[in-house]
Amino acid sequence: MLSRVIRRFWNDHRGYVIALTLIAMPLLLGFSLLVIDVGRSSNLHTDLQSAVDAMALAGARELDGRDDAIDRADAAIKKIANSAAFSGGGNGMSLGSYITVSYAPGNDAGSTVIVKYLKSIPAQDDDDIDLDTMEAENSNEASYAWVIAKEQAMQTIFPIPVGFTRETVNVSADAVAVYRASACDVTPIYICNPYESPGGGNAEQAAEALHTNFAAGNLYGRQIEFHNDNTGSTPGPGNFGFLAVADNGANALSEALAIGRPGMCYKQDDLTTKPGVMKGPVENGVNTRFGLYGGNFANNDNNPLYRPAPNVRMAQEQKGNSCMSYSQAVNAYDAVPLGYGATMENIPGGGGRIATDNNWNLDLYWDISHSGKKPSPLKFDPNYTPPAAPTSTISAASSSYPGGPTPPGVQPSAYDVYNYEIGNPNLLASEAPNGEMGIPQCHRGYDLAAYPDSRYGNRREIFAAIVNCVDQDLGGRTEGVKAVAFARMFFVQPVLTVGNSSSMVLETVDITGKGGRGTLDEFLREEAELVR
């Protein structure tokens, strides 16, 4: 009887599924919770990675090499970490239900992210960042922002596996972003860094010398005479050359040099040079900015695209073809160009010259240019001393001195005198003994005042790339050329060609990077790119 009952029970399969379900349910529930935990940790890592990506990009965007770059980068990262709503919303970058990302510059212990600024990173096949050699010591050398999120604890739902005592899973993330710069409406000219050694091999020192000297005011009012021998030979310190334009012809380059806003963009770390003999077209294109219309521009004196600057005082000979080519007055008693009298010395290893200081003869220029149309007393009285120019008034009205107002005792640059004269129309109208005025005479058919520099570009300025030419072995067409900086430069005089050599005399008004005044920002396209 008993055996029959047992056998019947054993053979009765009713409710079997329920029994198996009850037995398997803990396993199914545990597996489900495990899947949920994996998903939660994956989502948390994704959110955390998005957070550090955003912070790295925001920080790197500010690393333009200027003195306050790291301060600005810290502020940008702090604003994102501590103010932006993220994921869960609310104040701060909330990640899921448990974590809020925070950043306090200089307080790693009180932050959930750590930020390091790097001057370099390892090659692509090497993930190890060596802070001893790669961390930037100051803003001027910082190019990369490295944001590391500390390990964040996520409490698990799934029961802890056998042998483990913790109840959380740690999630972390990091990102590296780099600063990239391009410049638009840049004149297709590159200029060889005058501080580069003739033998090369000192690229970083040459770049540092350029920025340090500019920041210290050592380039203020200091003229640099750059040369191009028009033969396509290898350039050196103090030479200038050309960047590639869409059309490789000399006329296309001439056109790009002539108009106020060429409309081309160049990447700072990926320039392409343009070789070739182009002395005629280049001279003619640039000199339209002074109201000189020669060569292909002979019939363009009525075209506002090639309008002259509002101030073109250059000691031009007043003769029949004075609207076509540059012919400087031989007699300094008749007229002197802006920037006249600078004492120059050769740039070692290059084709150019550089003024020994801001030493151009401002007083003589002022006396000759604004004495009225009469012979200068200098011509008749060797003891005559020109009256001093109103230097303090000029500097108060126009100062491009880096870091602030022009210091007492420092004479204004040619660029600042140029702007001061524009601001005082009576000075533009005053005549030198030979009859030259600052007001341009060689344009017709339109009102020059209808095309202000503020809207259409300053006709006496160029925006050029400064390149370590020797270190990069420039010769012929070269691609992938890196610029030390972009520079805003002032044409002191028109381009002058003698034989095979063309020269242009420039003053450096501003540069990008360390010590820069920030006046080039409107031409820059600054971007940040994630690299790790």
HSE value, Cβ hemisphere, 13 Å, CA-based, for 521: 9
pTM score over 0.95: no
Radius of gyration of the chain (CA): 34
Residues 447 and 494 both lie in one domain = yes
Residues 232 and 130 both lie in one domain = no
* Residue 353 lies inside a defined structural domain of this protein: yes
* Residue 100 lies inside a defined structural domain of this protein: yes
DSSP code string of 164-191: ----EEEEEEEEEEEEEEEEES--SEEE
Residues 503 and 438 both lie in one domain = yes
DSSP tally for the chain: helices H, then strands E:
12, 17
Residues 217 and 335 both lie in one domain = yes
Length of the chain: 532
Residues 110 and 239 both lie in one domain = no
Q: Among 182, 207, 239, where does a domain finish?
A: 182
* Residue 8 lies inside a defined structural domain of this protein: no
Q: Are 474 and 467 in contact (CB under 8 A)?
A: yes
Residues 152 and 246 both lie in one domain = no
Residues 337 and 421 both lie in one domain = yes
pLDDT reported for residue 83: 64
* Residue 3 lies inside a defined structural domain of this protein: no
The tally of domains found in the chain comes to 2
Q: Give the domain extent around 498.
A: 185-530
Residues 248 and 368 both lie in one domain = yes
Q: Among 154, 182, 210, where does a domain finish?
A: 182
Annotate 19-31 with b (16+ C-beta within 10 A) or e (fewer).
Answer: eeeeeeeeeeeee
Residues 474 and 487 both lie in one domain = yes
- The 8 Å CB, 24+ separation contacts for 42-45 are 43/96, 44/95, 44/96, 44/99, 44/152, 44/154, 44/171, 45/171, 45/173
Residues 171 and 66 both lie in one domain = yes
DSSP code string of 47-73: HHHHHHHHHHHHHHTT-SSSTTHHHHH
* Residue 405 lies inside a defined structural domain of this protein: yes
* Residue 303 lies inside a defined structural domain of this protein: yes
Residues 48 and 29 both lie in one domain = yes
Closest CA to 266 of 480, 474, 469: 480
Tracing tokens 């930020």 back to the chain, one arrives at 115
Q: Among 182, 204, 231, where does a domain finish?
A: 182
CA distances from 205 to 290, 335, 341 (A): 36, 41, 31
Residues 315 and 451 both lie in one domain = yes
Q: Please state, in angstroms and rounded to a whole number, the distance separating the CA atoms of residues 470 and 467.
A: 9
* Residue 478 lies inside a defined structural domain of this protein: yes
Q: What is the pLDDT along the chain (532 residues), one digit of tens a residue?
A: 566 666 666 666 666 666 666 666 666 655 565 555 555 666 677 777 888 888 888 888 888 877 788 999 999 888 887 765 444 444 444 444 445 678 888 888 878 888 889 888 887 666 778 787 888 888 877 888 988 888 766 656 555 444 444 466 677 788 889 888 787 877 888 888 999 888 777 888 888 899 999 999 999 999 999 888 766 567 888 888 888 876 666 677 788 888 866 667 888 888 888 776 666 778 888 899 999 998 888 888 899 989 999 999 999 888 777 888 888 888 888 899 999 999 999 998 777 899 999 999 999 999 999 987 777 787 778 888 888 899 999 999 999 999 889 999 999 999 999 999 999 999 999 999 989 999 998 888 889 889 888 888 889 998 889 999 888 888 777 888 888 899 999 999 998 887 778 888 999 999 988 888 888 887 777 778 888 7
pLDDT reported for residue 159: 56
HSE value, Cβ hemisphere, 13 Å, CA-based, for 263: 8
* Residue 263 lies inside a defined structural domain of this protein: yes
